[in-house]
Structure 1
Amino acid sequence: MGSRATEEPIPDLNPDNLTLEERLGLGQEYDWDWSGTLVQSWESLLLILTTFWCILLARVVTHRLRLHGSPNLCYAVEFVLVILPCILLVTVAVDYSSYIGVVIFVVTLWFLRRSRALDLARTRSQFDLGGNRPMALSVLRALTHLITAICILAIDFGSFYRPYRKSRQYGAKLMDTGIGLFVFTMAMVSRRSRHLSDFRRSVIYSAMPLILLGLARTVSILTLGYGQDAHEYGQHLNAFFTLGFTKFLGALVSLLARRDLHLLPLGLGLLLIHQFGLSFLGISDYVMNEDVERSNLFNANREGLVSLPGFVALYLLSIYVNRWMVASSLLSYSELVRKLRCLFYLVLILWSLFVICAYGIGISRVICNLGYVIWMLAIGCTTLWASFGAIDFVINSVMPWEASPSEDQEKGLLTGDSPAKARDRSIVPFTINQALNQNGLTFFLVANVLTGGVNMFLKPEDRSNFESVIILLVYMFLGTKMAHELLKRGIRLA
């Protein structure tokens, strides 16, 4: 399985020697490589977890160096320990990813044994997950922003690891995770619409700005003649449109749920209906077939439009996972262990389903099929499990970060969503992470503008490996430092 048969024999032609375009021209459906998909997924997950581990390392180092009173030093240490390795691992150091993974595993075991973290966790009376915005969720959001921002520019350099590039139709590559994880993390900070007033608020403050940004990007591209691959979202649509429409439709559909629990059957039902249409009504073939002319608005943007039901289902299911995870912010040791165990079982189930989907129906970001949604949930829940376990269970047990809220307020280090409270929650740990959570959209817009500037003036395709790394470092410094300065001043734009 994992491949489809040709509709009728083609004499004197060997389909294995034909390009994808020639195959489609012959009326043959795309043949996905399910074993290759598993390898791609492992490479993607390894890079994500490695970057996540670097964030944890930065948290430990800044604590050991007692940098809580110096946000600029915190930023510098995090930049070196998080952003530099991520840039190297998608370019010149990619061949060492597996070795680095082994080192990370060994160092983690050493830290757990030497710090006696598990024993210390048992002595804690309660664990504060942070209410509706736990640190574990903010780390995942920042991780998504960082990797996506690095990749959208790095891909233009010859040093970029080509297997990380987006799949044309089927595949599970690193850059395929971008839009899916953005939807997942968007849902992590969202709630279901309980009333029409909630729906209007979601549309006005979340969906419409994204749609307007998508429109602005389309107009800019058409005006400047900047190239856009129509096989991603269509001729006129882009990621901003997908996020905006997903937020709009997700908020609308969630009105049908009377309780958070109802989001689970609602999301699953929509996902199964979507997959039924893709597999049995020929919608998948309609989107994939390049012989279908882009003669009208729907045909021209069929990739972006057809994928929307899948992204809405992912959005609803992600909200359910989030509401289940943070249903209670204060947990005892046994309650947190039970919750982490349940989340781990969910992770195992999702990865098992991913393997089945990779074999049976393929993984496709372009149409956001069942396999892709399962894959995004698997990565998201894996990272959540690792975040809650590593941050709330281990690190905060060994080295709780204590700071005076009044001091943080004076330094301008508290966000608008995190006023000074009696429980002394400082946002100094994970400084870049907090900066991107406060102004993530602003950071991403700046990254897109800088990417366009580099492409127009620096000719990245002609740059050496060393030059590409330097340019990427400067690019990420400008973007993250801008967000960090806004954080220090307590300014929240978007």
Structure 2
Amino acid sequence: MSRYDKSAKVAHVSGHTGSTVADVNSVSLAMPLAVLLWSALQSRQRTFTPYKPVAVLVDFLINCCATLFATTIYASSTWLFNLLLILPAAFLVITSGPGSTGKVPIRPSNQRNHKATPQNRLPVKPFITHYRGSMLVITCVAILAVDFQIFPRRFAKVENWGTSIMDMGVGSFVFSSGVVSMRASLKSQVAGRPPLSKRLLQSIRHSVPLLALGLVRLLSVKGLDYAEHVTEYGVHWNFFFTLGLLPPFVTLCQTIFDVVPSYGALSMALATLYEVALDRTDLGKYILTAPRTDLVSQNREGLFSFIGYLAIFLAGQSVGSFVLPRPEPTSSAATRTQNARRSILGKLVMATAVWTLLFYWSISYSYGLGLRLSVSRRLANLPYVLWVSSFNCAQIALCCAIEQYLFPNLYKATTEDEEKQKAKAATSPILSAYNRNGLAVFLLANLLTGLVNLTLPTLRMGTFESMAVLVSYIAVLSAVALFLDHKDLSIKL
């Protein structure tokens, strides 16, 4: 086999059936557990304050290498690896006195330059940064790791029906983008929403760079005769086209929000209508089996799965609408149960429960109840939308619970400057850097993936060689992300 064997590369990522939902959950649990270990070290030992080279290395090992190890060398021992993450965290929490919980060093500030109490309606929340940063890390890890033998085939994208880590990664990227996009929407609600024409124009401006990247990727793949899995998105379509079309369509959906004031309901309605079209018409058969005779049929997966990804984005916005704003003060007269339900964590738990129940209802059939459908990332059908929404709500809820326990006084600052310092001290700098320039890092990950595949025989490399390449790859991505953050640069694409 030559150094770059296109047919072997395509075969390596084709025809897979995935694994179980429980397997995906057990592997991905390494992400919030890594956040737990980082938070325990910071809240108890101040390991990452100040952020010196040793702290950078530990941060990298916990929040980047742990994800890489969970999906490669520890893929057959997921619960053992999870135990290796949770035991030191539990030891730190148990052996540390409760008086040290959540305290962070605060630099003195000039009180005349700061308001007496924080007024920012949309403060930076470390648990959101940790969630989105972790999702970006595992996405970047998987897009290269899948080309090595050390990455289990059960984690690769399924051909038609099933669940896998990479199937979840694509949906999670869209869901997390929906969560953070609500920041701009919430700001516009206060300032007054511009007319539809102006919002559409702004959304198209956001789309142009992404569509241009999609075009560049298309020309590069065709020009270099690079291996591509056609049934993933189609002959010409790629994920950048999907991302690029989201902003204008989301803007159009926001006009419906005036009639149906719930992004969750909009998401469910859109996914349901799409599922009806798949099941009650020949659309599903067309997407899966039609010959590729024209431009539409050649790219049918990308064109029609966009509907499902739009529903996932709206589901992310539904979560962002209540996790991004400042926590509402709880009433002393209310019961503990009422306060818990009103809290962000309580709402996240409820959202997770609802999406999870809907997911299992869609794939099950017992006592005459349930739809008995199968998950399909290729179609981005209703079960896939529900699965992605359930999974991501659970991930956010875990990160939120970790923050509330280990940094309980995070949102009880007396000044805005103090609140910002507390939030910064409670946030992993590496995950913050990934979150800040997520799309730019994702683009760099795609470029490096192509470079590695064109220059190295990835399918023939052993465990040691594979891990050396993968660790070096994620180290380069992390270094670039930290460099951009250190220079206070945010690359908006």
**What amino acid does structure 1 have at the position aligned with 2:135?**
T
Q: How does 1:74-153 map to 2 (within 5 A)?
A: 74-102=55-83, 104=85, 131=122, 133-153=124-144
CA distance in 2, matches of 1:108, 1:331: 30
1:224-278 Cα offsets, whole Å, 9 max, x none, are: 1112111111111111111111232112221221288333332222111111001
CA contact 1:136–1:384 (8 Å) conserved in 2? yes
Aligned counterpart in structure 2 of residue 350 of structure 1, from 327, 350, 355: 355
CA distance in 2, matches of 1:348, 1:109: 26
Which residue of 2 is the match for residue 7 of structure 1?
A: none
CA distance in 1, matches of 2:231, 2:310: 20
CA distance in 1, matches of 2:119, 2:100: 18
CA contact 1:357–1:363 (8 Å) conserved in 2? no
CA contact 1:130–1:329 (8 Å) conserved in 2? no
Aligned counterpart in structure 1 of residue 421 of structure 2, from 418, 421, 424: 424
Q: 1:361 to 1:117 in 2, by over 3 A?
A: farther
Which residue of 1 is the match for residue 340 of structure 2?
A: 337
Q: How does 1:270-289 map to 2 (within 5 A)?
A: 270-289=270-289
CA distance in 2, matches of 1:302, 1:224: 23
1:195-216 Cα offsets, whole Å, 9 max, x none, are: 32333323313x2222211111
Q: 1:381 to 1:53 in 2, by over 3 A?
A: same
Q: Which shifted more, 190-199 or 74-83?
A: 190-199
**What amino acid does structure 1 have at the position aligned with 2:424?**
I
CA distance in 2, matches of 1:314, 1:129: 28
CA distance in 2, matches of 1:309, 1:437: 25
**What amino acid does structure 2 have at the position aligned with 1:199?**
L
Identity of aligned residues (%): 24
Q: How does 1:405-444 map to 2 (within 5 A)?
A: 423-428=420-425, 429-444=427-442
1:270-302 Cα offsets, whole Å, 9 max, x none, are: 11111100111121111111xx21111100000
**What amino acid does structure 2 have at the position aligned with 1:61?**
L
CA distance in 1, matches of 2:97, 2:296: 59
| CA displacement at 1:69 relative to structure 2 | 2.3
Q: Which shifted more, 477-486 or 61-70?
A: 61-70
**What amino acid does structure 2 have at the position aligned with 1:226?**
Y
Aligned counterpart in structure 1 of residue 388 of structure 2, from 351, 355, 376: 376
CA contact 2:35–2:399 (8 Å) conserved in 1? no
CA contact 1:55–1:78 (8 Å) conserved in 2? no
CA distance in 2, matches of 1:65, 1:118: 14
CA distance in 2, matches of 1:80, 1:362: 37
Which residue of 1 is the match for residue 377 of structure 2?
A: 365
1:24-73 Cα offsets, whole Å, 9 max, x none, are: xxxxxx9x9xxx97x52222222222122113312332451443223544
**In structure 1, the residue corresponding to 2:228 is in which secondary structure?**
coil
**In structure 2, the residue corresponding to 1:189 is in which secondary structure?**
helix
**What amino acid does structure 1 have at the position aligned with 2:377?**
R
Aligned residues: 438
Q: How does 1:230-241 map to 2 (within 5 A)?
A: 230-241=230-241
Which residue of 1 is the match for residue 408 of structure 2?
A: 397
Q: 1:423 to 1:103 in 2, by over 3 A?
A: closer
1:178-224 Cα offsets, whole Å, 9 max, x none, are: 2211111111111358432333323313x222221111111111111
- Unpaired segments of 5 or more residues in structure 2? 1-14, 103-116, 365-371
Aligned counterpart in structure 1 of residue 467 of structure 2, from 451, 466, 469: 469
Q: 1:454 to 1:390 in 2, by over 3 A?
A: same
| CA displacement at 1:479 relative to structure 2 | 0.9
Which residue of 2 is the match for residue 224 of structure 1?
A: 224
Q: How does 1:62-81 map to 2 (within 5 A)?
A: 62-63=42-43, 64-81=45-62
**In structure 1, the residue corresponding to 2:29 is in which secondary structure?**
helix
CA contact 2:37–2:86 (8 Å) conserved in 1? no
Q: 1:263 to 1:347 in 2, by over 3 A?
A: closer
RMSD after superposition: 3.3
CA distance in 2, matches of 1:476, 1:278: 39
Q: 1:138 to 1:59 in 2, by over 3 A?
A: same
Q: 1:105 to 1:161 in 2, by over 3 A?
A: same
Aligned counterpart in structure 1 of residue 152 of structure 2, from 141, 156, 161: 161
CA distance in 1, matches of 2:98, 2:154: 38
| CA displacement at 1:158 relative to structure 2 | 1.1
- Unpaired segments of 5 or more residues in structure 1? 1-29, 406-418
Q: TM-score, normalised by structure 1?
A: 0.80
CA distance in 1, matches of 2:62, 2:129: 18
CA contact 1:47–1:97 (8 Å) conserved in 2? yes
Q: TM-score, normalised by structure 2?
A: 0.80
Q: 1:300 to 1:427 in 2, by over 3 A?
A: same
CA contact 1:129–1:330 (8 Å) conserved in 2? no
Q: 1:217 to 1:230 in 2, by over 3 A?
A: same
**In structure 1, the residue corresponding to 2:20 is in which secondary structure?**
helix
| CA displacement at 1:341 relative to structure 2 | 2.9
Q: 1:331 to 1:48 in 2, by over 3 A?
A: farther
CA contact 2:376–2:383 (8 Å) conserved in 1? yes
**In structure 2, the residue corresponding to 1:307 is in which secondary structure?**
helix
**In structure 1, the residue corresponding to 2:261 is in which secondary structure?**
helix
